[in-house]
Amino acid sequence: MSSTHIPILILGATGYIGGSVLSRLLAHSDAKSFEITALIRSVEKAECLRGFGVKTVVGSTDDVEKLETLASHAHIVFSVVSTDDLPAIQAADKQGYLKSYIILHSLVYGMASGPFVDLGIQNPFSMQIPGLIMAAFDRGHVGMFGKGLLIWPSVHIDDAANLYLILFDAVLANPEKVGHGREGYFFVENGEHTWYDLSKAIGGPFVKAGLSKDSEPTTLTDEELIKYTGSVEIGHKMGSNVRCHANCARGLGWKPTKTNKDMFDNLSLEVSALLNIVQAKQQKAST
Whether the pLDDT of residue 96 is over 70: the answer is: no
Q: Are strands 34-40 and 55-58 parallel, antiparallel or unpaired?
A: parallel
Question: Does 210 lie in the same domain as 93?
Answer: no
Percent of the chain with pLDDT over 70: 94
- Give tens-digit pLDDT for 180-216: 888 899 999 999 999 999 999 999 999 999 999 999 9
Residue 54 pLDDT: 97
Across 59-68, 92-101, 235-244, least confident range: 92-101
For 158, counting Cβ atoms within 10 Å of its Cβ (0-12 exposed, 13-18 middle, 19+ buried), the class is middle
Question: Does 234 lie in the same domain as 136?
Answer: yes
Residue 133 pLDDT: 97
* CA–CA distance, 237 with 242 (Å, rounded to integer): 10
Residue 91 pLDDT: 46
Decide if 279 is inside a domain: yes
Question: Does 227 lie in the same domain as 272?
Answer: yes
Decide if 52 is inside a domain: yes
Question: Does 217 lie in the same domain as 280?
Answer: yes
Going by pLDDT thresholds of 50, 70 and 90, the confidence category of residue 231 is very high
Q: Distances in Å between the alpha carbon of 250 and those of 107, 116, 166, 222, 253?
A: 18, 28, 10, 39, 5
> Are the C-beta atoms of residues 157 and 112 closer than 8 Å to each other?
yes
Decide if 225 is inside a domain: yes
* CA–CA distance, 69 with 51 (Å, rounded to integer): 24
Task: Report the predicted TM-score, pTM, of the whole model to 2 decimal places.
Answer: 0.91
Look up residue 268 and give its amino acid.
Answer: S
* CA–CA distance, 82 with 223 (Å, rounded to integer): 25
Question: Does 145 lie in the same domain as 93?
Answer: no
Question: Does 142 lie in the same domain as 94?
Answer: no
Question: Does 194 lie in the same domain as 84?
Answer: no
Decide if 172 is inside a domain: no
> What number of other Cβ atoms are within 10 A of residue 196's Cβ?
19
Question: Does 14 lie in the same domain as 91?
Answer: yes
Mean pLDDT calculated for residue range 34-60: 96
Q: CA torsion 174→19→198→134, rounded to 10°?
A: -160
Decide if 10 is inside a domain: yes
Decide if 222 is inside a domain: yes
What is the DSSP code string of 238-269? HTS------HHHHHTT------HHHHHHTHHH
Mean pLDDT calculated for residue range 233-248: 92
Residue 193 pLDDT: 96
Residue 4 pLDDT: 76
* CA–CA distance, 69 with 62 (Å, rounded to integer): 13
What is the DSSP code string of 99-124? ---EEEE-EEES---SHHHHTT-S--
Question: Does 256 lie in the same domain as 140?
Answer: yes
- Give tens-digit pLDDT for 106-154: 999 999 999 999 999 999 999 999 999 999 999 999 999 999 999 999 9
Question: Where does residue 113 fall: left (phi above 0), alpha (psi -120 to 50 degrees), or beta otherwise?
Answer: beta
Residue 182 pLDDT: 84
Percent of the chain with pLDDT over 90: 80
* CA–CA distance, 51 with 115 (Å, rounded to integer): 12
Whether the pLDDT of residue 264 is over 60: the answer is: yes
Mean pLDDT calculated for residue range 22-49: 96
* CA–CA distance, 126 with 99 (Å, rounded to integer): 28
- Give tens-digit pLDDT for 1-14: 445 789 999 999 99
Question: Does 246 lie in the same domain as 198?
Answer: yes
Decide if 108 is inside a domain: no
In which domain, by residue range, is 217 found? 128-156+190-286
DSSP state of 232: H
When divided into structural domains, the chain yields a total of 2
What is the CATH classification number for the domain harbouring 60?
3.40.50.720
Mean pLDDT calculated for residue range 63-86: 84
Question: Does 138 lie in the same domain as 10?
Answer: no
Question: Does 134 lie in the same domain as 38?
Answer: no
> Are the C-beta atoms of residues 52 and 40 closer than 8 Å to each other?
no
